[in-house]
Amino acid sequence: MGKFGELAAKAEWNRQLETLLDAPLEFGYAGGTLTLNPWDFLSLPVLRGFSVQTDLGAYRTLRGEDFAYSQDRVEVSLNLPQFNAVNLSLGYECLLTEEEAAGANRELTRKAPFLRAVWAPTSGTTLNWRYEPKTLLETAAAGQGSQTGEESRYKLELRSTIGPRTTLIVRYEKLQGDSTSENMSVSYRTGF
């Protein structure tokens, strides 16, 4: 797309080779990101460094005829100019999750405005902070009607490369709605 922005796409499809269940799991992802740089075609100096980004993604998991799970995601964000190695984004995410198992269907729709800050203090290390002040949730199950709710979410993630093909991820998440929950996880990933 040249100087006006960039377009990236990704697709994956995987299948279990062996399984103890009746049918192997198949799972995949298809999605893309479109980033536009408005200052390049509007020529307004005040817009210098701003970008508008749209992320689309579709996840699918299937196992024979008795289980299917899908997740469709759309995110639109305004990315503010970088200062002191910190990127700030203001955006909106919509997530639709559908699950079908043993003949029962369930849907969850999640709509969330967010503020995100990403700090990269060193090469290979990022600190991601995300705040969703008011997430709207709507759950629908076949034959049971729908329920709505609200929650706020804080998420902090430190991701650091600590060696060749080795990553350490520390994640903290807090949800506040009808009740409050906090989760913390540490994962160490390595490959060869």
Q: What angle do CA 87, 124, 122 make, to 5 degrees?
A: 65
Q: What are phi and psi of 45, to 5 degrees?
A: -55, -30
69 and 125 in a common domain: no
Confirm whether 92 is domain-assigned: no
pLDDT of 92 over the 90 cut:
yes
Task: Give the whole-angstrom CA distance, residue 15 versus residue 24.
Answer: 7
Q: Is residue 117 in a domain?
A: yes
Whether 2 and 77 map to the same domain: the answer is yes
Domain span at residue 36 reads 1-81
Specify if 99 maps to a domain.
no
Which ranges in 34-176 belong to alpha helices (H)?
Answer: 39-42
Q: Does residue 107 lie within any of the structural domains?
A: no
Residue 77 in domain = yes
The Cα–Cα gap between 182 and 168 comes to: 20
Distance of alpha carbon 159 from alpha carbon 179, whole angstroms: 28
- Per-residue model confidence (pLDDT) at position 136: 82
What is the total count of domains within the chain? 2
Average pLDDT, the chain: 87
Q: Chain-centre distance of CA 62, in angstroms?
A: 21
pLDDT > 80? residue 18: no
In the chain, pLDDT over 70 holds for what percent of residues?
A: 97
Contact present, 62 and 26 (Cβ < 8 Å): yes
* pLDDT, tens only, 127-154: 999 999 988 888 887 667 778 888 899 9
> Which single residue is written with the structure tokens 């350490």?
168
Domain boundary among 59, 81, 103: 81
Mean pLDDT of 5-12: 92
User: 52-56, 99-103, 112-116: which range is least confident on average?
Assistant: 99-103
Same domain, 7 and 77: yes
